[in-house]
Amino acid sequence: MKEHSFGIGTIVHKRTRDTENFFKYQAPYLCLNLNQPGPDLPFFSWNRFNLFSIFHKQHGFRDKDKNLLEFAKQIATQHQIQFESVHFIAIPSILGYSFNPISFYLFLNQSQQPLAILYEVKNTFGDQVHYLSAHDFSQSTFKKNMYVSPFIEMDCTYEISAKLLNPKQFFCTIHQFDAQQKQIFYASINLSLAKITFWSAFAFIILNIFGSIKTIALIHYQALKLWIKKSQFFKYSQRVKDRLYFD
């Protein structure tokens, strides 16, 4: 996993209370080693418009003048994480647009095993929070601290499990529980990665040129289905710009 890679993530969402709902879709992901220069490709850029881009203003500090490695190093220093490299997994901006419900910073040791995982979560209102797990990555528990869906209340907890099954396979599950500890939602991402080469990356871009638009369209389509089914609605009321929480 030392090199940059990319792949298609299979994402599952399942709602398990009042109005049951299930959907599955695929989205393009980049896995970038932040300790190395970006991929040397004409159609990929750091912090500049291109077919595929990663913009500093959309992640981490959300400051165009502060890169993601600076952000990762600050987190590591504050929490005594002695890492060899950091790999950032996210849906790239495609023609300047992206929406990342969740991105991942993997802090790896010399054996390329995770020491800590930072989950970067966004909602469609532009809010962002981070959840840091620096212990056992199975069943890390966090209090819900950001409004995400209009059909799920704030008084909830997340149980997040993540596995780097091998250098080419990343898997993450999220179980959400209400105040009575009843599971109400499940999500997962299963991501297979491959080394970036010119022609494979070119084909990847052509096949996924509408990847980000598809993600945001599917989210709103599923929300419309829940609204039509008269699922309980919770109004957005608390803006959260950037916060960090621990397991």
E strand spans, 19-63:
21-33, 44-46, 52-54
Query: What percent of the chain lies above the pLDDT cut of 70?
Result: 94
Identify the band that residue 172 occupies on the pLDDT scale cut at 50, 70 and 90.
very high
Residue 166 has pLDDT above 60, yes or no: yes
Mean pLDDT of 219-227: 80
Tokens 């996993």, residue located:
1
- What is the pLDDT, as a whole number, of residue 200? 82
Identify the band that residue 80 occupies on the pLDDT scale cut at 50, 70 and 90.
very high
Tokens 């002695």, residue located:
82
The 10 Å CB-count burial string (b at 16+, else e) for 104-127 is: bbbbbeeeeebbbbbbbbbbbeeb
Question: What confidence tens digit (pLDDT) does each residue in 92-137 have?
Answer: 988 888 888 999 999 999 998 999 999 999 998 889 999 999 877 8
- Number of structural domains (the chain) is 1
CA-CA-CA-CA torsion sign (230, 18, 12, 174): positive
- What is the pLDDT, as a whole number, of residue 236? 81
Tokens 């299979």, residue located:
10
Q: What is the CA radius of gyration of the chain?
A: 18
- What is the pLDDT, as a whole number, of residue 225? 81
Rounded Cα gap, residues 29 and 113, in angstroms = 20
Tokens 């070119």, residue located:
202
* Contact (CB, 8 A) for 192 and 168: yes
Rounded Cα gap, residues 64 and 157, in angstroms = 32
Residue 241 has pLDDT above 70, yes or no: no
Rounded Cα gap, residues 108 and 110, in angstroms = 7
- What is the pLDDT, as a whole number, of residue 246? 62
Rounded Cα gap, residues 19 and 94, in angstroms = 33
Rounded Cα gap, residues 243 and 247, in angstroms = 14
Question: Of 105 and 40, which is predicted with more confidence?
Answer: 105
- What is the pLDDT, as a whole number, of residue 1? 66
Residue 49 has pLDDT above 80, yes or no: yes
- What is the pLDDT, as a whole number, of residue 84? 94
Mean pLDDT of 144-166: 91
- What is the pLDDT, as a whole number, of residue 61? 94
Mean pLDDT of 162-174: 91
Residue-range definition of the domain harbouring residue 182: 5-246
Residue 218 has pLDDT above 80, yes or no: no
Mean pLDDT of 13-19: 86
Residue 81 has pLDDT above 70, yes or no: yes
pTM of the model: 0.90
- What is the pLDDT, as a whole number, of residue 245? 67
Per the DSSP assignment, residues forming a β-bridge with 113 are: none
